[in-house]
Structure 1
Amino acid sequence: MKILLLHTDYIEYEAKEKAIDGADEIDIKKDRLDEALAVF
């Protein structure tokens, strides 16, 4: 297994629509994280 670790200044995301029908409702649809570590 390989992983990719990225230290980023920021990550922004926005929820557009539900991926599956049984997903819960969310309160925050758009957010930004500063000084994040992204792991893929």
Structure 2
Amino acid sequence: MKIFLKDPDATADFGIEISKLISKSKIMLLKFIYWKTWGW
């Protein structure tokens, strides 16, 4: 984590990657819920 804190650009990139990961997780979760609800 210290590397990210020292380098603002690296911190920003790291934050973007985390955001992308969270977005993907949300989409997967929504798809799963949709499939569970209407997929049968």
TM-score range, shorter chain: under 0.3
**Pair member with larger Rg:** 2
TM-score (norm 1): 0.16
**Quick one: higher RCO (CA 8 Å, sep 6+), 1 or 2?**
1
